[in-house]
Amino acid sequence: MTDAASRDGAGRDGAIDAAELRCRTQELLAARPVADTDRTDFLRARFDAGLAWVHYPEGLGGLGAPRSLQTVVDTELEAAGAPDNDPRRIGIGLGMAAPTILGFGTEEQKRRFLRPLWVGEEVWCQLFSEPGAGSDLAALGTRAVRDDAGDWMVNGQKVWTSSAHVARWAILIARTDPDVPKHRGITYFVCDMSDPGVEVRPLRQITGEAEFNEVFLTGVRIPDAHRLGEVGDGWRVAQTTLMNERFSIGGMRIPREGGMIGPVAKTWRERPDLRTHDLHQRLLKLWVEAEVARLTGERLRQQLVAGQPGPEASGMKLAFARLNQEISGLEVELLGEEGLSYDDWTMRRPDFVDFTGRDAGYRYLRAKGNSIEGGTSEVLLNIVAERVLGLPSEPRTDKDVAWKDLAR
């Protein structure tokens, strides 16, 4: 046992506890004073000390501690004014790529990708959806063909790719066997976005900006060493990504009156001239629902201590989309003519979505995408019905049909 562990007490069974984490965090701060340490150097040192994801294995940014103890570290570092890793900018890497690499990557892949991902030195994007495979993702047609050297040549098109314009790496699923049913012929890869065969084009949205992209892959070479999981097992690997994506969207940790409900409640308190009885009743209803969703997210995070997100995360994401759209609609109605004004139509390429730092018109428009991104609400309703409530599944006539024989 280390001096720190004997002083502040890892648990009797040798497990890391809260006191030990506080001690290690203070040792990091003493060795890397916040005021005198470069931001990136501090984040690297935090990762190496196992204080990035405390529940990850040692050597991979963690200490094998319970996931619930991450708040101990975060609270200590926030109080000291330590820099964070700008999680909104690297959210896809943190919320989707990292747990998939941890679950299915080789030891070499974990050590190569996880540290720069968490530190924020390398941004990630997600190459899943296609023009003909959105809600029915397993119908994807991007092809990966193995060459004589054992590597893969990829050709196809992906769409609705957030952060592709700033990403260094992408998580990619592609079809490697068209002769089997659609769910079985998919393989999961890590794609180098700097490859000359990768072309990123902006997709301008209703907000005026281009946060999303379409990505064309032409003769992109991916070494077999960048394959995650077995050949043909990509759908199973992708489920880890998708479940974590839905949790990262719908289950974010926020304070009371955090998220979309905060600006509306603030406006209500500061602008009594805008109040009506009807709007008051609707605001109260949505405030309660937002609080229920927040507390449900806390409960789900506690359940995650024992493993990966399950289908319950789909329910959280459903609630997130519906609430955001109803709350933003109420905010526009509350503000009247002010809520209809939206002056910033600049063609920008933001690194991340900022719901609360913009005006009500932006929030109203951008929230429309919440019921599409991360799985459409219709698909998520099916998941909740079948996997949470145990209801009969919908008939699927293409379940046992080879992908190449599917109607398109």
Active site residues per annotation? 245
CA distance 316 to 391: 19
Pairing of the two strands 152-158 and 212-222: antiparallel
CA distance 200 to 321: 27
Contacts of 184 (CB under 8 A, 6+ apart): 177, 232, 235
What sign has the CA pseudo-torsion 365, 367, 368, 369?
Answer: positive
CA distance 71 to 146: 44
Q: Residue 142: count other Cβ atoms within 10 Å of its Cβ.
A: 21
CA distance 47 to 210: 32
Write out the E strands in 227-314. 227-228
Strand partners, 233: 186
Distances in Å between the Cα of 374 and the Cα atoms of 112, 156, 293, 365 are 27, 21, 18, 17
CA distance 360 to 337: 11
What sign has the CA pseudo-torsion 277, 282, 287, 289?
Answer: positive
Write out the E strands in 245-364. none
